[in-house]
Amino acid sequence: MLIKVNGKEVDVAEGSTIQDVIEKTNAPYTPGSIICLIKGKKELEKNITKYKIKTTRGSIIIELVDNEEANPIIDVWKNQYEEFVDLSIRWSTSTEVAIGPIVTDLEPTHNEFKYYDGDVVLSLSSFSNESTHLILLKEHTTNVYGVPPYNKGIFARIIGGKKTLNELTGDDVVTAIEPIIERSTKTDSASADLSTVLEEGNELYTYISFEIDEESPVCVEHLFSIIKDNRIKVNFDSNSFVGFYEFEGIDKPKENTTQRVRGTITIRNTGNGVGRMYVYRENRVLTPNHTTVGRITAGMEIIDIAKKDDFITVKSQQQRLLLLSKSQSEASKILAEAGVEHIREGVSDDDGLIVEQSPRYTIDILKEGKVVTKAINPNELRDIEFVDNAPRSVKYFKLISGLLENPVGKIKVHFAVPGMHITIFEGDKKLAKGLVPENNPVDVVNECEIGITNMSAKAAGLIGIRFEPNHEFGPTAESFNATNIVGKMVSNTEGLEELKEGVVVYVRESMS
C-alpha cells in the first residue's frame, strides 16, 4: 500500500505499524518525540477553511462561511474548485468578477437577493448548471444570479487580495487554487504510539527540518543550543506560534529582522521574554524585537499539532560547528569534512581538550573558512555535579559560566585567601537580583561544595568553593542564610586553592 512519510511516497506492506515504517525508511525520529499522522488529503481538506486563488494579476484569499445553510455549496466547492484552474476571467465589472464556467449538479433559483462587498457566490448563469460561475463581489449589489437554494449562493468571503480583485480583466487567468493549511486544519493529534497500524493514503511526519538565517550568527547559535539530543521541548503553544523558553533571560543582539511568516523561527532580542525562541504557525507582522534565525523547511505538520511539554525531533540542514569539549583530533576531522582550516593553540596534541574557539559562531566560521581552537590537558577541566533543588541558582551559575549554551564553561577567580580554604569567583550583580534563598546549607558545608551568595547579602552573585568542611560559613564566606548551594566539584580540584586573581578555570557538567 502507498503512504507518505515526511512528504515522500513509500510502498509498504499491509498492516505496517508506525514503528515498522520508521525502521524501513530510516526516517529521522528520536524516541519519545511526537509524530503527526494524517489520514490522507481528503481527510485533511475536510477541515480547510481558506483558499488562495492565484491569477496572472496576483492572489485572492477567500474563507468559507461558518453557516450550515451554505454546506451544500461548500461541498461542491471542495469537490470541484480545481476545475476553475486555467479558466479565464469571464467578465469584470465595477460590481463583480466572474470566473468560469464549470458544470455542477446544482439547481438554480430565480429569486433576487442582496449581496455585500466581499461575498463569494456560486452562480448558475442563464439558470443552467452547465454554466456555473464563481462570482467575487466588489461592491454591494442586488441581483438575480440564478443561485442554488442555499444561503443565497454565498459560500465564502474575500479576506485578502481586494486590490488584485479590482485589477482583474478579461485578459487574466486563474493559474492555481491552493488550500491554505493552518494548525486548525490538522485532524489527528500527536501520537507517540508506534504500534499504530497505518492505512492506504496515510501521511506520517516524524521530524522538523530548518534552514538557518546567515545574517544572524549569534542568535542562530542560540537556536542550536536549544536543540539537545536532536530534539526540542515545547514550553508554550498558541494559535499563532509554538514557544521554546528554556534559555529565557539570555540577552541576544538584534540581528536580521524579517516578516514573521508561517514557519519563521525567531529569537526575542529585547524586553520581557528575551532569549525565548518562537516558531510561527501563522503570519505575524515584522517587529525589531525578534531576530529571525531560520525557517522550517519540512515538518510544519508537527509544529501545527505540538502542545506544551511535547518533544519534537529536529534535523538541521546545517551542522553546528561547536568544538568545545572535543579533542583536537576530533575537531580536525569535523572541520576537514566541513572544508574549514583548523588552527590549534594551547595544547596542540591530538588529545588536547578544546575549551575555546574563535570564531565562536558556526556562521562566522563558515564565512571565514578557518577556526582557532584553544585546548588544555584533560586533567585541567573540572567537572561539576549540580543539585536539583536550587533551579534559579544553578541556572545563574550556568549563565555566568556559559554552560547554559555550551558543553564547556569558564569562571574567573575573584580572589583567594591563603589559609581560608576557599576560592571565590566573579559573579554578576545585575543577574543576581533574582537569587532568592534556596538550598541553604544546614549544619555544615562539605569539602568541594559550590555556593552562591544570594540576594540577602550585599555581595550577591559571587561564586565560591570550599576545600574543607565548615560549620559556620558558606563557600563565599557568607552565613548559611545568605548561601545557596548549587553543586559540588567532583574532579581535578587540586591546586584551585592556590590560584591567583584573574585566572580562568574551565568547567563542565558531570554526566555521571
Q: Exposure pattern of 62-90 as b/e (b: 16+ CB <10 Å)?
A: bbbbeeeebebbbebbbeebeebeeeebb
**pTM score:** 0.73
- Going along the chain from its start, the domains and CATH numbers come out as 50-179 (2.40.100.10), 205-316 (2.40.100.10), 328-379 (no CATH), 381-509 (2.40.100.10)
Do strands 2-5 and 203-205 pair parallel, antiparallel, or not at all (unpaired)? parallel
What amino acid occupies position 168? L
HSE-CB of 207 using CA atoms within 13 angstroms: 17
How much is the CA Rg of the chain, to the nearest whole Å? 31
What amino acid occupies position 278? Y
User: What pLDDT is recorded for position 190?
Assistant: 47
User: What pLDDT is recorded for position 512?
Assistant: 72
Tens of pLDDT along the chain (512 residues) come to: 899 999 899 999 999 999 999 999 999 999 999 998 887 665 666 678 999 999 999 999 999 999 999 999 999 999 999 999 999 999 999 999 999 999 999 999 999 999 999 999 999 999 999 999 999 999 999 999 999 999 999 999 999 999 999 999 999 999 999 988 765 555 444 455 888 888 888 889 999 999 999 999 999 999 999 999 999 999 999 888 999 998 888 889 999 999 999 999 999 999 899 999 999 998 888 899 999 999 999 999 899 889 999 999 999 888 899 999 999 999 999 999 999 999 999 999 999 999 999 999 999 999 999 999 999 999 999 999 999 999 999 999 999 999 999 999 999 999 877 778 899 999 998 889 889 999 999 999 999 999 999 999 999 999 999 999 999 999 999 999 999 999 999 998 888 888 888 999 999 999 87
